[in-house]
Amino acid sequence: MNENNQNPLGSLDEWEDDLLVRYPEESTPKAKEEYRNYDDPARDTVKEFYRLNHTYQTFDFVQEKRAEFLKLDRREMGLWDAVEFLNTLIDDSDPDIDLDQTQHLLQTSEAIRADGHPDWFVLTGFLHDLGKVLCLFGEPQWAVVGDTFPVGCKYSDRIVYPEFFAANPDYNNPLYQTTYGIYDEHCGLDNVLMSWGHDEYIYHVMKDYLPEEGLYMLRYHSFYAQHREGAYDHLMNEHDHELFKWVKIFNKYDLYTKSPVRPDVKKLRPYYEDLAAKYLPDTIKF
């Protein structure tokens, strides 16, 4: 498979634009035309993206990627160095908004700060997409973004494009295709292996530094089949349900703060440098 075939999206933001169509803000419904117009080929690229994602995100693939990347030996950077590194993923193809990654992260975190949430929550908003540096380490889009889901058990039909799982080798493994698969009822998500991507990666990068509520936001913010559909209640325990209240609060800031108004990065940077110094080491291992 060549690189273009592995990366069908014009940009990583096309997946997030698709989420806005699938999950319009419930409190202030907007007309579809206010979002990206999906009468163009962008919808086809998202569909192809999920075909690849659902075909190749096997249990063994996830294990391989965890072994490859969770040693956190690719690069060591200060927080702002990591953000500027991520900026090489500037989206030049988005017809709606021309923002670099720093500005997107700041829009999310500044909306959280404006609503008076704790400072660790603000920092979590600023960090949530840093795991997309995986693309800069050579990972294809389908292994970086996209809705996440458990592997090692039956695929829920509430996952987007569930029909594409028929091409996944795990689909023909009876062990993985029962309701609980390799897991026990209400075993807790700590014991469940999730599909590989930027959520799981940034969780491991930050797991020693943030409160558990923030870590749940990082780890499960793309687990839409659960926090928007409730499809995996049978694997979650009471602790998961309690922490998912924070994931749901975070979701609106992740999806609905995208705006053409550019944050003043120069003005805001000292605040975020001080905030990072409170919670994070001088350099972070990626």
For residue 268, which phi and psi values (nearest 5 degrees)?
A: -85, -25
From the list 75, 108, 105, 110, the residue with the least C-alpha distance to 87 is 105
Domain boundaries, the chain: 3-285
Q: Please check whether residue 254 is in contact with residue 112, taking contact to mean a CB–CB distance below 8 angstroms.
A: no
- Lookup: tokens for 85: 């590194």
pTM, two decimals, is 0.88
Neighbours of 20 (CB within 10 A): 18
pLDDT band of 36, cuts 50, 70, 90: very low
- The beta strand positions in 69-188, using DSSP E, are 76-77
Token pair 């110094």 in the structure block, residue: 277
DSSP secondary structure letter of residue 194:
B
How many CA atoms lie less than 13 Å away from 203 in the CB half-sphere?
Answer: 19
Q: In this predicted model, what pLDDT tens digit does every residue of 37-62 receive, in sequence order?
A: 434 444 578 899 999 999 999 999 99
Q: In this predicted model, what pLDDT tens digit does every residue of 215-267 receive, in sequence order?
A: 999 999 999 999 999 999 999 999 999 999 999 999 999 876 766 678 899 99
Q: In this predicted model, what pLDDT tens digit does every residue of 86-124 receive, in sequence order?
A: 988 754 333 344 567 788 899 999 999 999 999 999 999
Q: 162 pLDDT exceeds 70?
A: yes
Average pLDDT (125-152) is 95
Give the pLDDT confidence score for residue 154 in this predicted structure. Answer: 98
Q: 4 pLDDT exceeds 50?
A: yes
Task: Give the integer Cα–Cα distance in Å for 28 and 101.
Answer: 26
